[in-house]
Structure 1
Amino acid sequence: MIPLTVDDAERAARALRESLSQAGRADLTHAESLETLAHTAGHRDWNTYSAALDQPRPALAVPVLRVFDSVLARQFYCEYLGCEVIFEHRFAPDLPLYMRVGRGEVELDLSEHHGDGTPGSVVWIGAVGLQAWHRELRSRDHKSSLRPGIDRSAPGGPTMELIDPFQNTLRICELP
């Protein structure tokens, strides 16, 4: 569970404490488990972590892109772009895959289901660190020999455009 609220984080801290206690590995107080959870999440202490959790979160819109082959989708999105699988679902082993991938704050849903997404869609993605991502992609071998460039005259700012194996276009633009 990834804590999204202070209540979620407190439940996670209790679960951590109970789990460690059952394993005979630690006898943490609740306060110590809160501090441990905060440090694990990259915060200085529980007070700064709980303040960050209380911040309002923007609505999340996740585009659904149509894919036709889960192996090719994983190769492109995970191996080449460096995304991680957030979740995947099939109603049965022989039925189409629906999966969410993400890298940093960017999340995309990839679906083999007929009617989900339209092949050849375009997604505009705002990103920080476009130059570093570009160097990373240029250093990787990919079956389609993609060698993306950065268009510095694009209307939204410096933009790297990639076309996935299913003809979906990803326009990754450097955020100011």
Structure 2
Amino acid sequence: MNLPEFDFPIRKSPRADFHDYGEGCYFITICTKGKRHYFGEIRNGEMFLSEIGRYATFRLESINAHHPYAIVQISVVMPNHIHAIIYISPNLNGGRITFRDPNMAYPLKRSPLAVIIGNFKQSVTMFAKKHNIEFGWQRSYHDHIIRGVNDGNNIAAYIENNVSKWADDCFH
């Protein structure tokens, strides 16, 4: 059987090729499509979440329930993006990182971090469609592998202060 040939562009992965994105601590940023303010607005230094912003917050807080090998240590939902520190460890799940459905004929060979982000984005998108809310994600996500306590503390402080520094934010 001859399969048709497709001429799709080959994109270079933004992920580090020296790292498997399994066990570790990651700072992630996920943006909305066109950086539109779907998640709410900031007024007087306070974030007021929209319906989809509240749902995104709920899904972030429940990542461990769906992925027992992962914990969101700190996060913030901003008007058009989300920041989070996600810690992945098999020790959180009895020594296992399980993310492939054994019933799938061809399980995807994605990293645990990619599975977590993909499931999160999919669930928020499905919620928006179910509730007829206009919404879209930017393709992919940005990640930073946290390499040490100082790095993690600086990023956590950045996340904690993100709302108050919104006017200076590059995503504003």
Q: Normalising by structure 2, what TM-score?
A: 0.24
- The structure whose RCO (Cα within 8 Å, separation 6+) is larger is 2
Q: State the structure with more CA Rg.
A: 1
> TM-score scaled by structure 1?
0.24
